[in-house]
Amino acid sequence: MVSAIQEDNAYQPYNVDLRNKVSSNPQADITATGHCEYWITTIDFMEYQEESTLSSPDDTMLPEVYTDTVACIYNVDGRCKGMLTPKRLKILRKAFDRAKCSGLHDHVQPPPISFASDLAGLIARKDASASKHTNKKIKLFRMDTPLPHYRRLSKVGSGY
């Protein structure tokens, strides 16, 4: 796979399909444990650079690296599927526990296996949602027919 990239040209446009086959955060991957996990750990990151600030592909300048403490979310295969700030992890943990205590989990299918597995699912949904909103062509609606529900309810005189 790597050789194919090198032959074509490493600066080809971003290939999402190919990218999804490899780990998003290989530096954070762990040995597979067979179930979803989350680890709060210290990870090295490359500083994000906007394309406009990059010079030519021949530029040999190395990216800036920084270290941060994050919560890594792992799939069953040990691959890091996403990261959260520890603060957000705490918020999610509280929300999860509160929902469980209030019985919200009882009606969810399939039933939650663990907090970690639903975290992994949450990351996956967010990816899919971001992709949908990015790719979907925005349609503008005619504004001369607003509030069809309101007109309909006015006719029958019922509540909402």
Partner 1 sequence: MASPLDHDPNFHHYWSEHPRDKVFGANIKDFSSRFSGFSTCHPIYHENTMLLATRHAIYSAAVSTEETATFMLLPSWNKMTTTNPYASLCRKYPRICKFLGTTPLDQLQYAKVPFWNNIQIPLSKHSWELQIIAIWNT
Contact residues toward partner 1 (CB under 8 A) are 24-25, 45-46, 48, 50, 68, 81-85, 87-88, 91-92, 94-96, 98-100, 102, 104-105, 107-108, 112, 118, 121-123, 125-127, 129, 133, 136, 138-141, 143, 146-147, 149-150, 153, 159-160
Taking the least distance from each CB to partner 1, the nearer of 7 and 109 is 109
- Token digits of residue 153: 């309810």
Q: How far is CA 105 from CA 102, 108, 109, in A?
A: 8, 5, 9
Taking the least distance from each CB to partner 1, the nearer of 7 and 139 is 139
* Shortest reach from residue 17's CB to partner 1, in Å: 15
What would the DSSP string read from start to end of 11-34? TSPP-HHHHHHS-S-GGG-----S
User: Any idea which residue has 């955060």 for tokens?
Assistant: 25
Taking the least distance from each CB to partner 1, the nearer of 78 and 121 is 121
What count of other Cβ atoms lies within 10 Å of the Cβ of residue 41? 14
Taking the least distance from each CB to partner 1, the nearer of 7 and 149 is 149
